[in-house]
Chains A and B, each alone.
Chain A
Amino acid sequence: MTTHDGYGDRWFDREAGPVVRPYAVTKGRTLPSGGASFGLIDVVIATSERQPQFLRLGPEHRRILNLCRRPTPIVDLTSEIDLPLGVVRVLLGDLTSEGMVRVLSTQKQPVTDERLLRMVLDGLESL
C-alpha cells in the first residue's frame, strides 16, 4: 500500500536536479497527440486498467496512472510528479488517446457559474 509514494522509487532528490532531460521522457514531443489541450485545473481520472494497444507505457505514464486513480487536477498531478507541465500534457495526451484516462475540462471562459462561485464564497467564509 505504501510502496509507491511517488518519490519512493527515486534515489535522487530535488536538489540533485534532473538526471534525464525533461522532453526525453516524451521522445522529443512538445505537444499532446491529437491536438488536445489540457487546462491547469482540469481533472484527470484513470478509467481502467486495461493494457494500451499502441502505447508502450513508460515509468512516467505509470506514475500518472497511479496518481489519478483518484480524480486529480492536472496542476496537482504535475506538482506531485515533478515534471514540467508541458511534459505532463504530452503524457496525458498519450493516455487519453489510449482511453486510459479521462480529462474533465473546466471552463475556459471567465467563470460565471453561480453554483461554483457560491461554493467558493461559502468555502472561503467558513475558513
Chain B
Amino acid sequence: MDLNHCDGALPPAGNGAGAGAGASVPSTAKILISGGFGAGKTTLVGAISEIRPLRTEEPMSDRSVGIDDTRGVSAKATTTVAMDFGRISFPSQLVLYLFGTPGQERFWFMWDELAIGAIGAVVLADTRRVADCFASIDYFERNGMPFIIAVNCFDGAARFEPDDIRIALSLGPGVPIVLCDARERDSVKQVLVSLVRYVMSGNRRTNQMSMG
C-alpha cells in the first residue's frame, strides 16, 4: 500500500496520528437518531458530538427515474438538501457518526441510505406527542433494525412510567425504554451505551438460537 506521499495538505477533519507513512485506516460506525419533529434529535446529536454539514440531493419528480437509470446520465432534476450529522472520534481510531433521520415525508428516500450498515437506532420520544415517533418505529421494525426508545424529559413535560410508554407505543417487552435529557452529554452517552448493549445482547441471542 502506497501511502508515503502525505507531505501535502491535511484534511482538517481527520482523526488519528496525522498524515504520514502508513496513516492508519479508521474504523467507522453509525447510529441513527430518529423521532418526530421537535423531539430533540439535533439537540441530542449536538450534546455529544461535533456537528458537521452535509449536502445531499432530493429527487424532484419521479423517484424511479435517475436512481435506477443505468445510463448514468439523467436529465432528472434534483435539488440539494442540507443536513447535519454528528461525529465522535475516539483515540482507538474509531469514528462514530450520528445521523438524524430527516423528518418530512419527502425525505424518506434518505432513510435507506442512512440505515445501511447502521448499528441501530435511537427513537426519541416526546411524551407530549407520542404519536410522532410511530413512523420511526414502524420503519425500524420493518427493516429489522435494532432500536431503543429514549424519552426526552423536557422541563415541564409530564413524566410517564416506561411501562405506560411501552403500551402507548405498542412495543414488545424486549425493546429498552430509557429516560433522558437530550441536552445533557452524560445522559446522551447513557442512551447510546444502552443501544449498543442492546444490540450486543441481541446478537448473542441470535447466535445462541442458531447454534441451538
Contacts from A to B (Cβ < 8 Å): 1-6, 22-23, 28-33, 35, 39-43, 45-49, 66-73, 75-80, 82-86, 104, 106-112, 114, 116-127
Contact B30 A124 (CB under 8 A): no
C-alpha gap A86/B80 in the complex (Å):
10
Q: Mark B69-96, 1 if CB is under 8 A from A, else 0.
A: 1101110101010000101101010111
Contacts of A43 in B (CB 8 A): 25-26, 28
C-alpha gap A3/B53 in the complex (Å):
23
Size of the chain B interface, CB-CB below 8 angstroms: 69
B98 to chain A, nearest CB (A): 11
Cβ contacts A to B, 22 pairs, < 8 Å: A1-B9, A29-B73, A33-B72, A41-B30, A46-B5, A47-B1, A66-B9, A69-B9, A70-B23, A72-B14, A79-B52, A80-B11, A84-B56, A104-B25, A106-B28, A108-B116, A109-B117, A110-B120, A110-B146, A120-B119, A121-B200, A122-B92
Contacts of B11 in A (CB 8 A): 6, 67-70, 72, 76-77, 80
- Given A45-B3, A84-B55, A84-B80, the answer on whether A127 and B189 have CB atoms closer than 8 Å is yes
Contacts of B117 in A (CB 8 A): 39, 41, 106-111
- Given A110-B146, A119-B94, A122-B92, the answer on whether A86 and B24 have CB atoms closer than 8 Å is no
Contact B116 A39 (CB under 8 A): yes
C-alpha gap A69/B2 in the complex (Å):
10
C-alpha gap A112/B76 in the complex (Å):
37
Q: Does B113 contact A (CB under 8 A)?
A: yes
Contact B24 A71 (CB under 8 A): yes
Contact A30 B74 (CB under 8 A): yes
List B127-149 residues whose CB lies under 8 Å from chain A: 144-146
Contact B56 A86 (CB under 8 A): yes
Contacts of B9 in A (CB 8 A): 1-6, 66-67, 69
Contacts of A110 in B (CB 8 A): 117-118, 120, 144-146
Contacts of A83 in B (CB 8 A): 55
Contacts of B2 in A (CB 8 A): 47-48
Contact B96 A112 (CB under 8 A): no
Contacts of B19 in A (CB 8 A): 69-70
List B5-33 residues whose CB lies under 8 Å from chain A: 5-6, 8-14, 16, 18-19, 23-30
C-alpha gap A87/B57 in the complex (Å):
9
